[in-house]
Structure 1
Amino acid sequence: MKALVYEGPRNVVVKDMPDARIEQPTDVLVKITTTNICGSDLHMYEGRTNMETGRILGHENLGVVVEVGPAVVHVKVGDRVCLPFNIGCGFCKNCEKGLTGFCLTANPGMAGAAYGFAGMGPYSGGQAEYLRVPFGDFNCLLLPPDAQEKENDYVMLSDIFPTGYHAAVLAGVEAGDSVVIYGAGPVGLMATIAADLKGASKVMVVDSHPDRLRLAEKLGAIPVDDSDGGAVDRVLELTGGEGADRGCECVGYQCTCQGHEVPNLTMNNLVKSVRATGGIGVVGVFVAEDPGSPDELMKKGQLAFDFGTFWMKGQHMATGQANVKAYNRKLRDLIAADKVKPSRIISHELPLEQAPEGYRNFDERKEGWTKVVLKTAA
């Protein structure tokens, strides 16, 4: 099968790889039709993780079931399915609580497994023609009859839409709240949609890329340009000096300011931008170590965090990757009912063969390259 393979920093190639296949009785084999490039993929693409060469990338996947293992009873050949990026077993302590992003079975020795992701198990990614799905009955989200028509919407259920929603949940967004979101990349834009779904009275989105801020404004948010470092003052001005009720971190450890990485910038700016006793949700990726970081603390996975201010303001914070299955069914139904259209943020649709070009332009934050979806041959 054709697949996109990581061969080193900023070096990915599409080449022939062994076909994905059924390996366990509970497996499902999916022919991928749409797969996305995620901002999290860029950490690996840039060589900022321990991703092994020769691995197939891709954790935002959707396709058609072509084979099922003998123990699969719910999913059928021909079903169109979207796959959560995090692989859950369905029966461990965390999965039973709905915390599927921290499955204790799928990646022994670590809480959490994912497709084509550094440190999250041996599973191949879905930027390929076929994908093996472990624990298929549990992990496959069945799609409704309009699955082909709305494929670019439903594929967002694999990661970024639930992740953006998770940011709003972690922050504690409620009807009437004002919300500030740091990051107008795909996840930040999904958090914008999520905050609106939860009834936020005002959503402010902070970024320094004009094209992304324009998209946030189209989604109904107030764009806050931080290219001059004045975002906090602007947010305080927009909230009568108090700060937002809730804040979402949708950037992560490679946050940049005027061309320089400042890993603690969004975290500390959130503490300043959110009111006393407000809530902060962090879904941007932070890692246990980043030897390639220009920041000495971040090399060890640490931040110079304004904990004293955070404590004095009585704020609360929740973090971690999204438990996709906790949200994807409900969000699917909103798409089916035409209540939401996450595909609005897609900027480019490319064939799988052009994935290296997509990675290069997305990584360079080239103007207009906001969200890239890849299509395999029919």
Structure 2
Amino acid sequence: MRYITDVPGFRACGVHAGLKPDGALDMALIVSDRPCVASAVFTQNLVKAAPVLFDMALLQRTRDVRAVVVNSKNANAVTGEQGLRDAAEMARLTAEALALPEESGVFVMSTGVIGVPLPMNKIAYGITLAAQMLDATPEAAQAAARAIMTTDTRPKMASATCTLDEKTITLAGIAKGAGMIHPNMATMLAFIVTDALITAEALDAALHYAVERSFNAISVDGDTSTNDTCLVLANGAAANDIITLESPAFPTFRDALTEVCIALAKQIAFDGEGATKHVTIHVRNAGSFEAARQIGRTIATSPLVKTALFGRDANWGRVLAAAGRAGVPFDPDRASLWFGPLQVLANGKPLPFDEDEALRILSEVDITIDLDIGGEPGDATVWTCDFSYDYVSINAEYRT
């Protein structure tokens, strides 16, 4: 495992600004010592938080982003003009504390409760403290990952390397998310840094490819957030030949970025609020990647499927019924279905199976569902979790 601080030129930290009780880390800062090329994707929810609107506007002005400042506990969403002013002030305070050049941008991210103004006195204190605590140690990276957590039970980190032009390229990221997680956004919050030298156009293409196969292929509860953002910063410290869309090196970098995104996305899906099962859904021969993913998404968001998995019930009919309402045409008489190694449906016909064996398979933490549509080639994988009693309890008491 490499940490974000193992990527040359990046430092990070997590601090306690007083947003969370009991001294818990609640603000993170990630900084590059040189200009970066930035690329990001954002929530597609029409209700966008102030930091999302600020960051979207920032990328329209510049692709040079040198720092990311993040607070947890408060989403700064549905906070009106004051929220926008507060997001801009977070960026200004961070740039000032780091003495960044005027042309360098600062990304702002917030996560937590919606509809509550930011306590800017605590935010300002946290930024000042974080600027003093920046370090390039593994401990600093781990602190940043913990500081962005809300209902997460553990920090989420991933890394990958690839070789381009005889230079080792390092990618590392952190993410948070356990609820309000569903495809068609970006992710919850994710930050990936790399020392690759790459054009903005190529970085955009690589990120969108990676997101479609990772963060847009997970679901916990079907709810998209107001704050979802995935950001990649590339500072070029590896001094490789610059990667363009036409470069032979582009697919190698793109695949390494996808590897990091998938690893982070799976950690998010498997840390779903109250989750007791880690569920991987493979959909095969659906005609295209997009069609297969749409079927997988529909299965992953079905409350009936998710509660059956929590109850260790091999109710394969719920899986097939969910696939049938995905809006993707297929012939049910050609569909085959497995729970792990146990086949329960073959070419549309139910198979007799050992209920005790099914119970044993569904009693495991890691569960795989394989659905072969029986059509033309086109496969996708989606990750999700079950619905437990704890999911209801956590979300019934989120604000209190």
TM-score scaled by structure 1? 0.26
Please identify which structure carries the higher helix content: 2
TM-score scaled by structure 2? 0.25
- Higher CA-based Rg: 2
